Amino acid sequence: MSDVQAVDAGALHVQGLGKEYKIYASPKDRLLALLTGRQRHTSHWALRDVSFALRRGECLGVIGDNGAGKSTLLKLMAGTIQPTQGRIERVGRVTAILELGAGFHPDFSGRENLYFGGSLIGISAAEMARLEAGIIEFSELGDAIDRAVKTYSSGMVVRLAFALVTAVRPELLIIDEALAVGDQSFQKKCVQRIEDFRQSGCTIMFCSHSSYHIRHLCDRALWMQAGRVRAFGATEAVLGAYETFSRQRGQADVAQESGASPSKERARVVRRQAGEGSRASILSVVLSNLDETEAPPRLDDKDLVVTITVQGFGEERPNIGFMLEQSKGSGITSLATHEEGAVPTSLGEGRWRSVLRFPDLPLHTGEYVVSAYLFDASGLVLYDYWIHYKHFKFVSPTLMPGLVRLPHVWS
């Protein structure tokens, strides 16, 4: 990457970035190193030779396994730690959503912490006096703003912290792992504020394990592995490479395991995401025509019909998502109503239903599993999800091997 002489506001250029941590066996070794000037440590490089560039208004998704160096990279971008090697060129205000509320003083009131925390991120007392009312309104704390922060729930703390750090639009916004905090209503406000920043030209770095949000929010992706850049480029190409790598590694891990019982391998896994005060939720996921006398149940029909019923959020019309995967293997397809212009059917009293039908299911014989997702009206806020909810077996009428029967023409 060539040197850059000038950096536009909101743009970001990173060149040869490295971060070393010195590890001493004991405090005595650290002291002797200071006194003698002789090396008595081992080195751990959390990052090595990281280079990339972002233009103003671009959104970058940072992906990789735990320990890959993602959080270290974001802290370097935010300026909370300094690099050992390389340089970072950025212009304009930088806002980082990392450890929300970590800088608050527990004995200060919420209002006092606005001025205290604001001073730490470059907001003067005069500017805070102008912003104060809007921050309190966004945080939804009401009269609690004058109580000591140590009396707050964790949700109240992060609401106040998010409202504070996003009170002024930055040129560079850094988000680590979480898009939103608090209950479902507040989550929507948080996502909308971040989306407003994005639409107004704010450059965003977003670290997440959610491939869905990376795909929907990010123009480009950066795959970190063992502290180095494994890939950087268009989101779908980088994310696809990372998912292929993860899937192949997972298959290798399974192959090395021994002694796993079939019942354990087929155990149903249900995970729900429910924030503070959560109301929207998936109510049921039903697969028609399953023969439950077998394990896993066998689909006793040529069509796969899935009925998903949800409880929405207030009067909002939600969106419903679906994923079909091999029980032990690759993903096959993922679908969502907001991606295809489909509209769930209202059942009254805030309940909604979508029926998804795959006529003449084009799968070959095997074991499969379905997952369901509940999104808000925008398709960005994930209210609830049931992962690997229902396993089933399908016996194809064809004797040919493979995974799916693709549309085709012989000539």
Question: What is the tens place of the pLDDT at every residue in 345-378?
Answer: 999 999 999 999 999 999 999 999 999 999 999 8
Angle between helices 125-139 and 154-165 (to 10 degrees): 130
CA distance 76 to 332: 38
Q: For the CA atoms of the chain, what is the radius of gyration?
A: 25
Contact 344, 354 (CB under 8 A): yes
Whether domain 12-93+169-240 has CATH 3.40.50.300: the reply is: yes
Burial of 235 (0-12, 13-18, 19+ CB in 10 A): buried
Per-domain boundaries in the chain: 12-93+169-240, 270-394
Most confident of 95-99, 313-317, 335-339: 335-339
Tokens of 403: 């995974």
Residue 340 has pLDDT above 90, yes or no: yes
CA distance 287 to 208: 31
The rounded percent of the chain whose pLDDT value lies above 90 is: 49
Phi, psi dihedral angles at 351 (to 5 degrees): -95, 145
The residue that leads in pLDDT, 77 or 244, is 77
Contact 101, 157 (CB under 8 A): yes
CA distance 335 to 319: 11
Closest CA relative to residue 379, chosen from 199, 213, 181, 186: 213
Beginning with the edge strand found earlier in the chain, give each strand of the sheet holding 290-291 in spatial order: 290-291, 298-299, 382-394, 366-375, 319-326, 331-336
pLDDT-based confidence at 263, cuts 50/70/90? very low
The pTM for the full model equals 0.76
Average pLDDT over residues 25-31: 81
What angle (nearest 5°) sits at the alpha carbon of residue 230, between those of residues 170 and 92? 15
Burial of 232 (0-12, 13-18, 19+ CB in 10 A): middle
Domains 12-93+169-240 and 270-394 share a fold: no
User: What residues form DSSP beta bridges with 42?
Assistant: 23
pLDDT-based confidence at 154, cuts 50/70/90? confident
The tens digit of pLDDT for each residue in 66-92 reads 889 998 999 999 888 999 999 999 878
Convert 109-140 to b/e letters by CB count within 10 Å (16 or more is b). bbbbbbebbbeebebeeeebeebbeebbebbb
Considering the four listed CATH numbers 2.70.50.60, 3.30.70.3280, 3.20.20.150, 3.40.50.2300, the one that applies to the domain covering 270-394 is: 2.70.50.60
